[in-house]
Amino acid sequence: MAMLDMAGPSPALKLTALVLLVALLPLSWWWLRQRAASSRARLAALTALTLFLTFDLIVFGAFTRLTDSGLGCPDWPGCYGQASPLGAQADIHAAQQAMPSGPVTWTKAWIEMLHRYLAMVVGLLILVAAVFSWRVRARLPHSPWWALATLAWVIVQGLFGKYTVTLKLYPAVVTLHLLGAVLLLVLLVRQHESFADRPLPPGLPRGPVLAVLALVLGQIALGGWVSTNYAVLACRGFPDCNGAWWPAMDAAHGFTLLRELGRAGHGGYLPFEALVAIHMAHRLFAVVAVGGLVWLMLRLRREPAAPYRRYAGLLAALVLAQVATGLSNVVLDWPIAAALAHSGGAAALVGVLSSLLARLRPAAGPVAARAAQPA
């Protein structure tokens, strides 16, 4: 059988070599374009590239969930102990023959492994950025703390990815994996802004942005809980739900966190009313989150500096897109393109708010401030 332990050197080495080979493509592109730039400019470009790939990883992770490919390869980090589905064809074929509509098929195996490859490439880029930041720390206007924190968190995120598979899509773990990816995005935005050093003119305090970012993260957590429990279609119709303005709901079972997929906390099957409660919580909190975003947009538009108004325009476009894609998930029975756009829009909202928050700071850090003082 190809179901081998990944401790064997051959599959592990093949997987490592494959990821290194793929990672060389973006790293080579970055180095060739930035080889004549300063250390800070090179780090800003590398974090921007990593941020772009992390956003892609979040969207592809949503695609993996939406296509039920999370268990396309039921072990970790390889596929039936192999570096790719090519070496596990016999096991995949046997699993597909035993259960044609089950979680393991040739297509789902490739989707799951491509997601893992991209995650490993992102992790490697974060490692390179952390090492480079530490080596040139004397030439940076700040400490490499954000780069090191990002490296530490991507390791934690890798463990979430492992247990997502080994615990068979345990809803709480899958939701934490999604939130971990969003937090990784926040850390990368903050890291990039620390290298770019583009402070906004004084005006808006950080408090309102932090509050709205917390609302958006709460809504993403609820959206992840909806997705991981397959509760998107628990409500048909809008603005009502299954023909009722306040349908029968079972929040106690729906928000029991320590339970297996499709199971209630006591071990029985999760009642349909629990799925309705999960869906309705996401709908109702969306009103709160959108209200907070609209308030922040109006607050930004009152600032005289043009960058604030640009942030207001970005948030307005993203909120409109989120409302449109969220409604289409329900009204059009969850088309995959709209669902992916909804996940990507949520990540983009977090990125824009994190960028705004990071730029609300003095132009220079303490090291640069001391260096600028006259002797």
* 350 within 8 A of 216, measured Cβ to Cβ: yes
* 209 within 8 A of 357, measured Cβ to Cβ: yes
Contacts of 93 (CB under 8 A, 6+ apart): 106
The verdict on 263 and 293 lying in the same domain is yes
The verdict on 205 and 190 lying in the same domain is no
User: Using CB atoms within 10 A of its CB, is residue 205 exposed (0-12), middle (13-18) or buried (19+)?
Assistant: exposed
CA 43 to chain centre: 22
* 227 within 8 A of 65, measured Cβ to Cβ: yes
| Domain range for 256 | 198-363
Q: For the chain, what is the domain count?
A: 2
The verdict on 184 and 288 lying in the same domain is no
Q: Check if 112 is active-site.
A: yes
Q: Residue 244 phi/psi, 5° resolution?
A: -130, 145
The verdict on 151 and 191 lying in the same domain is yes
The verdict on 293 and 256 lying in the same domain is yes
d(CA 67, CA 149): 32
Q: In this structure, what DSSP letter does residue 361 have?
A: S
Q: Residue 229 phi/psi, 5° resolution?
A: -100, 5
Orientation of helix 171-196 relative to helix 206-228, angle to 10° = 150
The verdict on 94 and 234 lying in the same domain is no
Residue 6 domain-assigned?
no
pLDDT digit string (tens) for the chain, length 375 residues: 333 344 445 677 889 899 999 999 999 999 999 999 999 999 999 999 999 999 999 999 999 999 999 999 999 999 999 999 999 999 999 999 999 888 999 999 999 999 999 999 999 999 999 999 999 988 887 788 999 999 999 999 999 999 999 999 999 999 999 999 999 999 999 999 988 888 999 989 999 999 999 999 999 999 999 999 999 889 988 999 999 999 999 999 999 999 999 999 887 899 999 999 999 999 999 999 999 999 999 999 999 999 999 999 999 999 999 999 999 888 887 789 999 999 999 999 999 999 999 999 654 444 444 333 443
Query: Concatenated DSSP letters for 161-193?
Result: HHHHHHTTS-HHHHHHHHHHHHHHHHHHHHHHH
Task: Please tell me which residue in 112, 260, 273, 303 is annotated as part of the active site.
Answer: 112
d(CA 137, CA 279): 47
The verdict on 158 and 245 lying in the same domain is no
d(CA 22, CA 38): 26
